[in-house]
């Protein structure tokens, strides 16, 4: 079956039919990419959005150039150019939000070969973000390690990777760069900006920073700011990375990487993405040997094996310095800064409609914090809808509670039709 692939060749958008690479794919991938509900094979695009003449100003007071941005596009931009939806990814995400990457080999990211984009369940023909109707764009954030400029990029001043000489970036900086991308693509106004977790904070920041350029914001499993507890977890994660003997103040490129430290950081992250209940359901204190304690300090419980596996897999695909910078941006984000510390005042800037969704067992961005934002928006008399979805999946629910979330997103986008 040939993938139902939609070529978009207009206004800076280009997505070539990648049938030439299909033979390298497994039959399973072929089937999935060809499914009527998949966006099919996808290509990563890269564009330079800041250079010496037009550097990107940053919240820290510095500027940065050059800045390249990697992005993907699914669906077709209409003539009025008013059907674009920007999807914002979270901490460890990338621009490959949907479909099957035809570029895994070219980009040197083998892990992309065996799985669809990170929000494929939500983006595609007939899905919540319906690529038959909308033009869905996702770009990699500044400071990350997936094609957009980050700490592993070459610092033009030294000719070597930035490492910790990379400037500290913020959610505001990410959105400022996304605005350049949207302008580059010839889009004046986004129909929606959407994201979960740190992606939700980017959606919120869009509504605050560019109130006239975004019709609606979909903010999932997120809040106006991270709690002190969440902040503390990030502190521990960063310290674990910096403790690794290979960290070398961030100048490890070309040599062994601080993989052990990054592994520990990711293990910790995974605990905060799950809920106590989902962990109990998933592992139930079971031993790897299926019997009882092995009386050693190595991997003995299933939960240990799971965390180690997740940690090791992450090290294969992520840059430790990017983890430092992105968690720092997560720490610093506080929407109330738009109102000199007063969230209600900040919310008054917003002109978009907003959908806020939390999940009952999420304790990283808990329902209480999402609700706090919803109430502030309400007091500012904004058009806000807030829903708390009952779920045992914890923070990860924004990737898993597809049915309930899809229903809410559809209704909000003006369709209101169940699948």
Query: Which residues are catalytically annotated?
Result: 197, 362, 395
The token pair at 120 is 């494929």
121 φ, ψ (degrees, to nearest 5) = -65, -20
Binding-site size for a copy of itself (CB under 8 A) equals 58
**Which of 267, 330, 350, 374 is close enough to bind a copy of itself by CB under 8 A?**
267
**Which of 70, 205, 244, 401 is close enough to bind a copy of itself by CB under 8 A?**
244
Q: From CA 14, how far away is CA 22, in angstroms rounded?
A: 19
Residue 261 binds a copy of itself, judged by CB under 8 A: yes
**Which of 307, 315, 330, 346 is close enough to bind a copy of itself by CB under 8 A?**
307
Q: Could you tell me how many residues make up the chain?
A: 419
What's CA 101's distance to the chain center, in Å?
Answer: 17
Residue 344 binds a copy of itself, judged by CB under 8 A: no
125 vs 259 by CB, closer to a copy of itself: 259
Helix or strand or coil: residue 76? coil
196 vs 311 by CB, closer to a copy of itself: 311
130 φ, ψ (degrees, to nearest 5) = -80, 110
Residue 80 binds a copy of itself, judged by CB under 8 A: no
DSSP-assigned beta bridge partners for residue 196 = 220
CB-count exposure of residue 37 (10 Å: 0-12, 13-18, 19+): middle
| Bridge-based pairing state of the strands 216-220 and 384-389 | unpaired
| Bridge-based pairing state of the strands 56-57 and 13-14 | unpaired
Pattern 154-193, a copy of itself, x by CB under 8 A: ----------x--xx-x-----------------------
| Bridge-based pairing state of the strands 63-64 and 56-57 | antiparallel
**Which of 108, 159, 245, 416 is close enough to bind a copy of itself by CB under 8 A?**
245
Q: Could you tell me the smallest distance in angstroms from the CB atom of residue 328 to a copy of itself? A: 6
Name the residue among 399, 307, 313 with its Cα closest to residue 112: 313
Residue 229 binds a copy of itself, judged by CB under 8 A: yes
Bind-site residues for substrate: 266, 396
Interface with a copy of itself by CB under 8 A: which residues? Answer: 59-61, 164, 167-168, 170, 225, 227-229, 231-233, 235-236, 238-240, 242-245, 260-261, 263-264, 267-268, 270-271, 274, 276, 279-280, 282-285, 293, 295-297, 300-301, 303-304, 307-308, 311, 324-325, 328, 331-332, 334, 363, 366
């Amino acid at each position: 079956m040939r993938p139902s692939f939609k070529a978009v060749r207009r206004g800076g958008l280009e997505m070539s039919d990648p049938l030439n690479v299909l033979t390298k794919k497994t039959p399973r991938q072929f089937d999935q990419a060809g499914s009527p509900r998949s966006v099919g094979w996808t290509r990563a695009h890269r564009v330079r959005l800041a250079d010496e003449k037009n550097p990107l100003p940053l919240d820290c007071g510095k500027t940065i150039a050059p800045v390249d941005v990697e992005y993907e596009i699914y669906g077709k931009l209409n003539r009025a150019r008013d059907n674009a939806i920007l999807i914002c990814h979270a901490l460890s995400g990338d621009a490959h939000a949907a479909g099957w990457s035809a570029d895994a080999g070219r980009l040197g990211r083998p892990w992309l070969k065996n799985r669809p984009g990170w929000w494929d369940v939500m983006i595609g023909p007939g899905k919540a973000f319906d690529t038959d109707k909308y033009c869905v764009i996702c770009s990699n954030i500044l400071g990350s390690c997936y094609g957009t400029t980050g700490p592993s990029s070459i610092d033009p001043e030294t000719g070597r990777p930035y490492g910790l000489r990379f400037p500290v970036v913020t959610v505001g900086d990410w959105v400022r760069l996304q605005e350049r991308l949207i302008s580059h693509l010839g889009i004046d106004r986004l129909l929606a900006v959407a994201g979960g977790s740190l992606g939700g904070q980017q959606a919120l920041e869009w509504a605050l920073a560019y109130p006239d350029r975004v019709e609606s914001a979909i903010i999932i499993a997120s809040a106006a700011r991270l709690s002190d507890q969440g902040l503390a977890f990030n502190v521990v994660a960063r310290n674990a990375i910096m403790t690794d003997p290979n960290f070398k103040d961030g100048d490890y490129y070309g040599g062994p990487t601080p993989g052990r430290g990054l592994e520990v950081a990711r293990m910790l992250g995974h605990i905060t993405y799950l809920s106590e209940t989902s962990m109990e359901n998933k592992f139930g204190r079971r031993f790897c040997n299926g019997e009882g304690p092995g009386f050693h300090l190595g991997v003995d419980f299933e939960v240990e094996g799971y965390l180690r596996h997740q940690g090791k897999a992450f090290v294969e695909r992520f840059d430790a310095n990017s983890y430092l910078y992105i968690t720092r941006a997560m720490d610093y984000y506080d929407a109330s800064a738009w109102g000199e510390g007063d969230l209600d005042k900040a919310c008054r800037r917003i002109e978009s409609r907003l959908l806020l969704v939390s999940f009952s067992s999420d304790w990283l961005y808990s329902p209480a914090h999402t609700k706090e934002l919803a109430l502030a928006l309400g007091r500012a008399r904004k058009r806000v809808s807030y829903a708390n979805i009952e779920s045992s999946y914890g923070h990860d629910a924004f990737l898993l509670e597809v049915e309930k979330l899809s229903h809410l997103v559809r209704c909000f986008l003006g369709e209101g039709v169940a699948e």
